[in-house]
Amino acid sequence: MKYVLMFVETQEFAQELEAMGELEREAAYAAVGKWFADHADKITHQAHLAPVHTATTVRLDQGDPVVTDGPFVEGKEVVSGFAEVEVADLDEALRMARGWPACPIVEIRPVR
């Protein structure tokens, strides 16, 4: 089965990452790199998204399409990246998500 693991960053997590010293931040990024390497045989695609302030939103529910700069919703949690994985079942996707070393929230959705 294919699932998408969406890595959700909170404001608190972003602040903690920003407050880290260079060596501590490098270690945090190395842990993420190791997680991807450890699961490389199951990851079919992955991406780290640009910061939320770079988003452009097209709203189609108000008559004519409306294009705005910024995210579609103001929130304290934002998706900062994702990985598409091919695994046996949801339990295997959950095992992968439980080992994620970075953002404090991982949302898992099946791919149709």
Going by pLDDT thresholds of 50, 70 and 90, the confidence category of residue 58 is: confident
The pTM of this model reads 0.85
- Give the three-class secondary structure for 99: coil
Question: Hey, what's the torsion of the CAs at 36, 41, 45, 47, to 10 degrees?
Answer: 0
Domain ranges for the chain, please list them: 2-110
Q: What are the tens digits of pLDDT across the range 7-32? A: 999 989 989 999 999 999 999 999 99
Question: What CATH number does the domain located at 2-110 have?
Answer: 3.30.70.1060
Query: What is the distance of C-alpha 78 from the center of its chain?
Result: 8
